[in-house]
Structure 1
Amino acid sequence: MSMSRQNKISDETHQRIRTYIIEQVDAESALKMDPRVLERTVGKIVAEAVAEMRLFLNGYEQRALTREIVDDMVRLGPIQPCMDDPQVNDVLVNGTDQVLVERAGKLELTKHKFRDHNHLLNLAQRIASAVGRRIDESSPMVDARLADGSRVNIVGPPLALDGIYISIRKFSRTVMTLDSYVEKGCMSRRMADFLHLAAKARLNILVSGGTGSGKTTMLNALSQHISRSERIITIEDAAELRLDQPFVIRLETRPPSIEGKGEVTQRDLLRNALRMRPDRILLGEVRGAEAFDMLQAMNTGHDGSLSTVHANTPEDALLRLENMLNMGAHAMTSALVRRQLSSALDLLVQVERDITGMRRVTHISEVVAEGPDDVACRHIFAFRRKAEGGGEFVRTDYQPDYDRKMMASEVYEAYQEVIGRDAY
């Protein structure tokens, strides 16, 4: 018998058992059941179906089919094994026949596929309905968050020309520390010590980087050095920050309903957060008019605030931030916006992911006023690439001007030792 004939019979067998189980188990009840209880229940029904239909499936095949059916019912179907793999960071579905994963910064094509368009559509609709949205021709784009915190973007027809596309950024269960960055060669020990002191001394820090460079991971690492006695408010589109301090208030934006009502933006949450007596504000990513409110907060007693911005260089980050400030401050001149920027923001940390998938900190820079009407980055630490490949982390000869804030904290002596002028 040919291999294609064997596969055809297997598909038909699976479909018969699926139909049998759907008749036995109510889908709505299944969603409310503990997955382990559901798997045992479905396993018994699979065994009954195999006996009743006189099918030739061994124990391993029955268990695999049980997992596959349960994944379809309450998990993420064919892509659930990718979600369970701790080394996978992103799962990308390009239609029914192409599922890719990102490991260590590189994309890989997997063997997983969907049976047909309806199989993929059912998964997309289940993800969307869990956050009160729908995916159809009238609403072809959806942003959602899974129960484990992973971020999901779905695009369907008519915008998606080849079916449905699903992009999942997995929620990392491992929290990176500044020490972890050093151990992995992502920064030098001296850079980590400096960032530790900067966060502890309440410097206002912006983390900049491209897509997948690890901006939120760095923000998490910095947040670990905030005092446990401070009241912290986090504002995010999808909650990813993981703080273990006792006084943390977590706020999350809300997209508009199907009727286009009820939207709550980052700017709305930030303005409200200022009325909640925060010691520090952590804004997951600044990308619009909320930049103005964030810098206003930094300038009015909320030192030690942290945020991220999407940019490929420190200079690009400042330019993007200036453009966003102009969106929120209609009555301010460009010169005044730049002065606001230089007085509010202390430190810019640039992260990158290179072509090999390696993530590293390339610059730690002070944000300074340059003349009366301009703002610039002055690099304190940098990663210098070598012509033969690789590179090294160095301490530049620039001496930052953080004495006022450092002297007001208990870290001044340690700061003086770390910031010495010699190359590292």
Structure 2
Amino acid sequence: MRPFVPEPPVIARPRRRLRHPDLIGRLRRAREPEPAAQPRPDDGSLAAACAVAGNVSSPAVDQATTPPAWLDRARSWLAGRQARGDDDGEAAAVGTGGEPTEQACRAAVEAVAEQDGLVLTAGGAAERARLLADELSGFGPLAPLVRADGVTDVLVDGNGRVWTDGADGLRQTGTILPPERARQLAVRLLHRAGRRLDAAVPLADARVDGIRVHAVLPPLSGAGPLLSLRVPSRRRPSLAVLAEGWPDGERWQAAVQHLVAAHATVLVSGATGTGKTTLLSAALGEADPAERIITVEDTLEAAPAHPHVVCLQARSANAEGAGEVGLAELIRQALRMRPDRLVVGECRGAEVAEMLTALNTGHQGAWGTLHANSADDVPARLTAMGALAGWSVEALTAQVHAGVDAVLHLRRDAAGRHPVSLAVPVIEEHGAGLRMLPVLTDVGGRAVRGPGWDVLAARLKGRGP
């Protein structure tokens, strides 16, 4: 009988536990082919995006933007790290509210690079970390354009084409955002500001990181999502700085300074993009530092360089149709907050009744903005808005004549953004309606005095210092 010889024991080697982000990274590296080389690839790197931003003044060949593979894996790495936060205390590095910290973005970029066997320089790692932060909590592929000098607007049309506006006018960048990516970016930006954007609420407007964001979704927008970003200047130009670029700037500057010092109530009119809010902010920067300025706007834009500014912003209704706080209510509340100067940004409708009522209750020195083609068209605009509030022409005429001292109209042309007309509202001879009497008018680059000069001087006599 053959003796029993026991078999050697099988020693099981411990299996290496794959963490979730490692597993996702390996699967994606195995399944996703490397993108083919393009003549001008937009590989999602910050350097490539900056190249587009640096050439916003001239159109380029259309190039669709798609996030690089490493960006998706870095996002997955952060998601896995946040999910493990309860166990190993790493959630604090990821940040709160879904916004990653700079440390977390850097760690994600370095982890993905290590999986790929890449060695990143300090500058390369910083660029990738910045791009990851833009993709998760910033303006995504539009971030370099938003940061570019001289850009005042970044626009995405229904076909995904990206445009910029600035000193050189409207220009196509050559970058294209696919519809789904444009929609995701719009939804995320509005969500950050507490606004809803979906099929039930297909349009929204909010302020994100100091930038006004407006979005419209299909079918209201037609082919694809529309995205409009209004980028404020990094530097708040003073009135003197603005006047340097105006034709006959010294005279216009002196006129605006006199309006502020005399506590004149002024409406700044003009088309979109003519610099109404910029001029309003610069003018209010000339106000006495001891005064209290209260601004009321749909979306916060005015930023006077003044030590005492209180800002109120309107709120849209929620999905149930509740919670709306409009400009009219905010104007009523602002009057209870002891304003020395009341600023109403962009009257568009029935709230003009509240504003004109406020101007006739002793609150001189107020400023506001409204859209109009010319100073002569302002009475018609005010009449139309007053009709929405149920006011008759006679009632509105009396309120405007008593409460509004002057209208300053701006235009954007070959000379840039500059004032072209200062006028005072007066009652028509037959007693019904208003007309604008010119005080200063731009004629061939010179500010020419008009018949309204003495009328305005008489209205402002005895005001100011």
TM-score interval, smaller chain: 0.7 to 0.9
Question: What is the distance in 1 between the residues matched to 2:322 and 2:349?
Answer: 20
Amino acid at match of 2:170: L
**Structure 2 residue 133 is the aligned partner of structure 1 residue 70:** yes
Q: Is the 8 A contact 1:379 1:396 kept in 2?
A: yes
Q: Is the 8 A contact 1:282 1:306 kept in 2?
A: yes
Q: Residue 109 of structure 2 corresponds to which residue in structure 1?
A: 46
Which of these residues, 281, 287, 291, is aligned with residue 352 of structure 2? 291
List alignment gaps of at least 5 residues for structure 1. 386-390, 412-424
**Structure 2 residue 161 is the aligned partner of structure 1 residue 98:** yes
Q: Is the 8 A contact 1:207 1:308 kept in 2?
A: yes
Q: Residue 363 of structure 1 corresponds to which residue in structure 2?
A: 421
Q: Name the SS of the counterpart of 2:295 in structure 1.
A: strand
1:216-227 matches, cutoff 5 A: 216-227=277-288
Amino acid at match of 1:151: R
* Alignment coverage as a number of residue pairs: 400
Question: What is the distance in 1 between the residues matched to 2:300 and 2:357?
Answer: 23
Q: Residue 312 of structure 1 corresponds to which residue in structure 2?
A: 373
Q: Name the SS of the counterpart of 2:153 in structure 1.
A: strand
Q: Is the 8 A contact 1:133 1:258 kept in 2?
A: no
Q: Is the 8 A contact 1:220 1:242 kept in 2?
A: yes
1:137-148 matches, cutoff 5 A: 137-148=199-210
**Structure 2 residue 441 is the aligned partner of structure 1 residue 382:** yes
Question: What is the distance in 1 between the residues matched to 2:368 and 2:162?
Answer: 32
Question: What is the distance in 2 between the residues matched to 1:5 and 1:23?
Answer: 34
Question: What is the distance in 2 between the residues matched to 1:221 and 1:6?
Answer: 42
**Structure 2 residue 221 is the aligned partner of structure 1 residue 157:** no
Question: What is the distance in 1 between the residues matched to 2:412 and 2:166?
Answer: 13
Q: Is the 8 A contact 1:255 1:262 kept in 2?
A: yes
Residues 163 and 58 of structure 1, relative CA distance in 2, 3 Å threshold: farther
Q: Residue 361 of structure 2 corresponds to which residue in structure 1?
A: 300
Distance apart, 1:86 and its partner CA:
2.9
Q: Is the 8 A contact 1:140 1:156 kept in 2?
A: yes
Question: What is the distance in 2 between the residues matched to 1:280 and 1:59?
Answer: 50
**Structure 2 residue 96 is the aligned partner of structure 1 residue 32:** yes
Residues 34 and 408 of structure 1, relative CA distance in 2, 3 Å threshold: farther
Which of these residues, 258, 273, 294, is aligned with residue 319 of structure 2? 258
1:22-421 matches, cutoff 5 A: 22-26=78-82, 30-32=94-96, 38-54=101-117, 62-94=125-157, 97-114=160-177, 116-148=178-210, 150-330=211-391, 332=392, 334-354=393-413, 356=414, 358-371=416-429, 372-385=431-444, 391-396=445-450, 398-410=452-464
Residues 198 and 42 of structure 1, relative CA distance in 2, 3 Å threshold: closer
Q: Is the 8 A contact 1:202 1:304 kept in 2?
A: yes
Q: Residue 14 of structure 1 corresponds to which residue in structure 2?
A: 70
Amino acid at match of 2:82: D
Distance apart, 1:320 and its partner CA:
0.2
Residues 146 and 21 of structure 1, relative CA distance in 2, 3 Å threshold: same
Residues 184 and 19 of structure 1, relative CA distance in 2, 3 Å threshold: closer
Question: What is the distance in 2 between the residues matched to 1:232 and 1:380?
Answer: 27
Question: What is the distance in 1 between the residues matched to 2:250 and 2:43?
Answer: 60
Report the identity percentage: 29
Q: Is the 8 A contact 1:339 1:375 kept in 2?
A: no
C-alpha distance after superposition, 1:132-175 (max 9, x if no partner): 23222222111111022x11111112223332221010122322
Question: What is the distance in 1 between the residues matched to 2:95 and 2:460?
Answer: 53
Amino acid at match of 2:194: G
Question: What is the distance in 1 between the residues matched to 2:366 and 2:323?
Answer: 28
Q: Residue 37 of structure 2 corresponds to which residue in structure 1?
A: 3
Distance apart, 1:202 and its partner CA:
1.1
Give TM-score scaled by structure 1 length.
0.84
Deviates more, 1:311-320 or 1:101-110: 101-110
Give TM-score scaled by structure 2 length.
0.77
Question: What is the distance in 1 between the residues matched to 2:109 and 2:116?
Answer: 10
Residues 316 and 6 of structure 1, relative CA distance in 2, 3 Å threshold: closer
Please report the RMSD computed on the Cα atoms of aligned residues, expressed in angstroms.
3.1
Question: What is the distance in 2 between the residues matched to 1:242 and 1:5?
Answer: 43
Q: Name the SS of the counterpart of 2:441 in structure 1.
A: strand
C-alpha distance after superposition, 1:157-197 (max 9, x if no partner): 22233322210101223223321232112553122112211
C-alpha distance after superposition, 1:94-127 (max 9, x if no partner): 357422111215122225444x444333322211
Residues 336 and 156 of structure 1, relative CA distance in 2, 3 Å threshold: closer
Q: Who wins on radius of gyration, i.e. which is larger?
A: 2
Question: What is the distance in 2 between the residues matched to 1:277 and 1:143?
Answer: 29
Q: Is the 8 A contact 2:438 2:453 kept in 1?
A: no
Q: Is the 8 A contact 2:292 2:340 kept in 1?
A: yes
